[in-house]
Amino acid sequence: MVRAFLLLAVVASLAADDPAVFRTVVRKQGDDNVHTYRIPGLACSTKGTLLAVFDLRHKHSGDLPADIDVGLMRSTDMGKTWQKMQVVMDYDKNEKDARGNGVGDPSILVDRKTGNIFVAALWSKGNRGWNGSGPGLTPEETGQFVIAKSSDDGLTWAKPMNISATLKGRDAKWRLCFQGPGSGIQLQDGTLVFPAQYRDADAVAHSCFIYSKDGGESWAISAPAIPGKKPTSESMIAQLPDGNLVLTMRDESRPGKRAWSAYEWKGDLGSGKWSEPWWVNPDPTCMASLVSHPRGLLLFSNPNSSRQRIALTIRASTDGGKTWSTGKLLDERPCQYSSMTVLPDGSIGVLYETGPKSGVEQLAFASFPLEWVTQAK
């Protein structure tokens, strides 16, 4: 036991002191009088601007329903410094019976054809979060799937568009339909894709995705990656070199491993289908990040444990997510949600929750070259 503890301490020290990794704290509890910053999303714009989104949990660290807004920070030097925080989505917390009128769990996506940037989030008017949402389409009945857009590199944002009726209208008996937090992607054919999730009429959670072929004007939703009673929720999605998609999912049955499935993409939802799912990589039932690198690799980040949200680790796969490297330890502390993006020079940036106690005391940013993950020392 002592030997194992000493070994862990040595590995932790190496991770913290590695000169190949740049580190900085973007937000910490109490900044700008916000109690806690959670649920990171990260993307790089067509102009090379890094865009970080996250929850502003004003009064406490808990989930919706609550007084929560979506915040954003920009960096024009690949994460070395960050501009002043702005608010992207904010519903009136003083509205009667709104329970804070919160909006959160953001996901960010860049359209590389137009330069437009989209942020998707869940709006909870009253008790319409994960547990309080019910059947129906209105804000008084169920949580709302909303998307805000910026056309000026994230400097200003339009009023959010509500797409709930379109997506949940597929089955109004669903309890809830909203995004998978983190980030979306643009496919090789220009299609915009956000990972998503819904709770069906029996309150079973299902991971899926939504997509737009008209630059975000309209959206459609996929079938669940794992139908039936197997509950999966927060997901991230990537496109493989062959054009197909791969989805990584939080498994709410708590098996201690990450759930995965591939989707055969043929340009629309009518002709594709999901593969049989597989389970790989330790996972403590937590959100994780997935990104496709231009060199043909998949990269995956999550807490490296089947039980504890601790030790954020980055792994690489060369076979579409079927098998993975043993990984590189990025942060030995308690760590929870994370979001990665590929930077203009091909290196990797990651925004993640960490801290000495609960793992949500800070939003930290780190960057490292691809070789840091792929080459063993």
- pLDDT tens digit at each of 377 positions of the chain: 333 333 333 344 446 679 999 999 999 999 999 999 999 999 999 999 999 999 999 999 999 999 999 999 999 999 999 999 999 999 999 999 999 999 999 999 999 999 999 999 999 999 999 999 999 999 999 999 999 999 999 999 999 999 999 998 878 999 999 999 999 999 999 999 999 999 999 999 999 999 999 999 999 999 999 999 999 999 999 999 999 999 999 999 999 999 999 999 988 776 789 999 999 999 999 999 999 999 999 999 999 999 999 999 999 999 999 999 999 999 999 999 999 999 999 999 999 999 999 999 999 999 999 999 998 54
The pLDDT value given to residue 260: 98
The pLDDT value given to residue 349: 98
Active site residues: 234
Which string of b and e fits 255-271 if b means at least 16 CB within 10 Å? eeebbbbbbebeeebee
Which string of b and e fits 76-114 if b means at least 16 CB within 10 Å? eebbeebeebeebbbbebeeeebbbbbbbbbbbbbbeee
The pLDDT value given to residue 16: 63
The pLDDT value given to residue 14: 45
Q: Which residues 6+ apart lie within 8 Å of 250 measured at CB?
A: 207, 232, 233, 234, 235, 258, 259, 283, 285, 286, 287, 288
Question: How many CB atoms within 10 Å of residue 202?
Answer: 9
Which domains does the chain possess? 22-374 (2.120.10.10)
The pLDDT value given to residue 364: 98
The pLDDT value given to residue 15: 60
